[in-house]
Amino acid sequence: MAGGATFETTYARPAKDGEDPAILDRLTQMVDDTPPGGEIHATLFRLTVESVRDALVAASNRGVAVHVVHNGRDVVSEVAATLSRPAPDGLGDGHRWSGPAYAVRRPDFGAVATGRNSDLHTKLVLFSATRDPTGTLRRDVSWWSSANPSHHSGMQKANNAIAVYDDPVLYDGFRTRLWDLMWTATHFPGNDFYDAGRGRGWFLGSPATRTKVFCSPQQSTDLYASRLASVVADAATEVVLAHARFTDDRLAVADQLVRIARGGGSVRVLVGTEPDLLGPTVRERLVAAGIPLRRANIHDKLALLHSRHGVSRRRRKVVLSGSHNLNRDANWINDEILVKTFHDGLYDDVLAAHVEPLWSGAEPDSPL
């Protein structure tokens, strides 16, 4: 637990050439612990792990109302496709593919998103009730992760998952202002879901959890850069970024990190190991600003901010989590979530239990 009984964190950090099932094992247990008469509302990007599929089907068969919106691109996966079978072998009407692409041969798989070659990339599960790690039955549970229930991106790479218990405000926000829109394939003109002025594409949790959710796609700003823009840069500022992808489409984010570093703040950046996961211009700007840059086998989409924000006079600890990669698709094309949480305990847990071990084991970036 992080910060008492409100938050639960789970991490996966596989050994080289190995798998770490911790996040998916915990998710499966939460599904198993949902009582008959309860509800599960989920989104899936990719599913290859049979235990997760089997848990969802078993929950439905014992009287849990299970509804899954599933990225249409995954229809080619045998494990994923079985979810659409009639009960008792699948979820029947409780399963929907996102996007018309698998039927009409267009590569557009968004749920709310309508961008060309879009995906439902959000990893979200909502439980009306399930048990926490102590075995206590809890209600209004929101779970999100960087991990897909797949072997490659969910178990063979480092990931994080966060669950929030007993927050009906956050749970209802996820349900009515995001998940329901995905289930009904509600679209917005110009593929522009997030619109702060119109009050759509974002919502808040309760004051106890101090969480705000930002939803892609959106077309007018960079959602991540806008969150970093409020960071006051001074000698006490600390920023750690751990992102699988950081491409040149997101130079606005790199420029914010450079601003913070040149203002006296401590900035570190950790990215995935594959060469094309880091844009050459991003690298050039970070290195020129003296920002330490390392590589690790990660699938995380994390940032930790310890700083003053805006006009605040005291430093606050912020965790940015969710499914939002630092690439073009995540901001402008796909269905994604970026979750901003002001919480000292959650920040301390993510930093000490996950990010620092990743940083210590990472390799310095070596341009080709």
Amino acid at the residue 40: I
338 plus 256 within the same structural domain? yes
CA distances from 221 to 125, 196, 227, 304 (A): 27, 11, 11, 21
Helix (H) or strand (E) holding 8: strand 7-12
Average of per-residue pLDDT across 237-258 = 98
pLDDT at 6: 84
DSSP 94: G
Domain count within the chain: 2
232 plus 185 within the same structural domain? no
**Which range marks the domain in which residue 170 is found?**
7-189
**pLDDT (tens digit per residue) in 136-172:** 999 999 999 999 999 999 999 999 999 999 999 999 9
Taking the alpha carbons at both ends of the chain, their separation in whole angstroms is: 41
- 320 belongs to a structural domain: yes
- 195 belongs to a structural domain: no
26 plus 153 within the same structural domain? yes
The residue out of 189, 224, 245 marking a domain boundary is 189
130 plus 224 within the same structural domain? no
Supply the mean pLDDT for the chain.
95
pLDDT at 104: 53
User: Does the structure show a pLDDT above 80 at 253?
Assistant: yes
129 plus 43 within the same structural domain? yes
- 197 belongs to a structural domain: no
The dihedrals phi and psi of 68, each to the nearest 5 degrees, come to: -130, 125
pTM: 0.96
Residue 313, classified by CB atoms within 10 Å of its CB into exposed (0-12), middle (13-18) or buried (19+), is exposed
All residues at 6 or more sequence positions from 221 whose CB lies less than 8 Å from its CB, including other chains: none
With cut-offs at 50, 70 and 90, classify the pLDDT of residue 4.
very low
With cut-offs at 50, 70 and 90, classify the pLDDT of residue 115.
confident
- 196 belongs to a structural domain: no
Average of per-residue pLDDT across 180-205 = 96
With cut-offs at 50, 70 and 90, classify the pLDDT of residue 29.
very high
pLDDT at 106: 61
pLDDT at 368: 54
- 211 belongs to a structural domain: yes
Sheet holding 363-364, edge to edge: 202-204, 211-216, 336-342, 316-322, 301-307, 238-243, 266-271, 293-295, 363-364
User: Does the structure show a pLDDT above 50 at 234?
Assistant: yes
Percent of the chain with pLDDT over 70: 96
